[in-house]
Structure 1
Amino acid sequence: MMMMPLQGSIAAEAFNCSEPPNFNNFDVNSCCRTPEINLNDVPQRCQQYIKQLKSANENYPAYAHICYPECIYRETGALVNGQLNMVQVKRFLMTHVHRKDRDILPEIERSFEKCLANIKGHMKKANIEAYNVLPHGCSPFASMIYSCVNAETFLHCPAKMWKSDRNCLIAKQFAEQCNPLPHVPLPMN
């Protein structure tokens, strides 16, 4: 593994992207503190929605990991007729993110805009107007936006919300090198 200089005390590593760093039981999600967001009863409503989706195995709802973000965005008014409404995204964030966490709002908004532009650009190049709805589920569009926004916000987390320890810095370096925009695999149709 080659080492390159980096600002700060840890040298940047040139990673083999097919072999992520071994963090043992370290929770990478602890690196950028998640803002407190008041979703009211939206998570419970979406849980009920996910449970009613048909699946080959009733213990595992169909496409729950894909349909849950779509439900959250739809229930908060951010997703209308399969399209992300950035005005509503910004309005929702401004009114539902706790005051102490507002420093991260510009970064989350920038992440939404960057991810939306990137995914829409991919769709245009592939001549895709909208992603197909999966059997017994939903379109992957919202989950792709969700995953991309999380990754992009992680990479640009405000210093006030970032935990500067070795594992977090290595995780960020790995993501920067090995997980380019849109940070998720994109379906071809």
Structure 2
Amino acid sequence: MWNFKYSLVFILLGCGTVVYGQTIDCQRPPQLVDPALCCRDGGRDQIAEKCAEKVLGTVNGQQNNGPPSMDGATCLAECILTTAQYKQAPKTLNLEFIRSDLTSKFSNDTVYVEAMTSAFAKCEPQAQRRLAAIQQFNPKQPKCSPFAAIVLGCTYMEYFKNCPAHRWTQSAECTLAKTFVTQCGLGA
């Protein structure tokens, strides 16, 4: 449904840890690795494609002007969650529908369904808190509410941190990326 490449930029929190003799500095992320190469997700679907075309003006998955702006990414996330009927109110997810929809789409992969459903459930209250903080410091109403973008960013970060073994690619780069996001407090 949503692809990692559309994830929003995350704020890095300071901490340090060691992986395979290499020190992780949470202020300096390791070399970027496409999370989708490490942890296969459900892939893009028609909803994501149509929303990308509508919001970002893409054709056949190709963006016209590089990465989306913050407004573009926020509106894309809102379009995806609304069109998929995952968002039931401005700040609420329809978790029963999410589980049902994922179960129908991935009936042969209950582990994936459970990982994604758990991630959405964990991220909904986190997104509500972050949205309240954003609105407190910036009462100006943006074009699209950041709630959906916060939910999707958090959900895919949680999914990445708890990637099912059968969807995980064993490599030094992937292990380092997973350790970084887990140890540095990214996600919910």
TM-score (norm 1): 0.71
TM-score (norm 2): 0.71
Name the SS of the counterpart of 1:15 in structure 2. Answer: strand
Aligned match of 2:173: 167
State whether structure 2 residue 105 is matched by structure 1 residue 96: yes
Displacement of 1:76: 1.1
For residues 161 and 51 of structure 1, what CA distance do their matches in structure 2 show? 29
- Where structure 1 has 5 or more consecutive residues not aligned to the other structure, the ranges are 5-9, 53-57, 183-189
Aligned match of 2:93: 84
For residues 94 and 140 of structure 2, what CA distance do their matches in structure 1 show? 19
For residues 21 and 17 of structure 2, what CA distance do their matches in structure 1 show? 6
> Once superposed, what is the RMSD of the aligned Cα atoms?
3.0
Query: Contact conserved, 2:78 with 2:144, CA < 8 A, in 1?
Result: yes
Query: Contact conserved, 2:17 with 2:24, CA < 8 A, in 1?
Result: no
Call closer, same or farther: CA 1:127–1:156 in 2, change over 3 Å. same
Q: Max radius of gyration: which structure?
A: 1
For residues 171 and 139 of structure 1, what CA distance do their matches in structure 2 show? 29
Call closer, same or farther: CA 1:87–1:123 in 2, change over 3 Å. same
Call closer, same or farther: CA 1:164–1:74 in 2, change over 3 Å. same
For residues 11 and 44 of structure 1, what CA distance do their matches in structure 2 show? 39
The equivalences for 1:134-145 within 5 A come to: 134=142, 137-145=143-151
Displacement of 1:84: 1.4
**Number of residue equivalences:** 162
Q: 1:73 aligns with which of 73, 76, 81?
A: 81
Call closer, same or farther: CA 1:126–1:34 in 2, change over 3 Å. closer
State whether structure 2 residue 17 is matched by structure 1 residue 11: no
State whether structure 2 residue 34 is matched by structure 1 residue 27: yes
For residues 78 and 3 of structure 1, what CA distance do their matches in structure 2 show? 36
Aligned identity (percent) is 24
- Where structure 2 has 5 or more consecutive residues not aligned to the other structure, the ranges are 1-15, 58-63
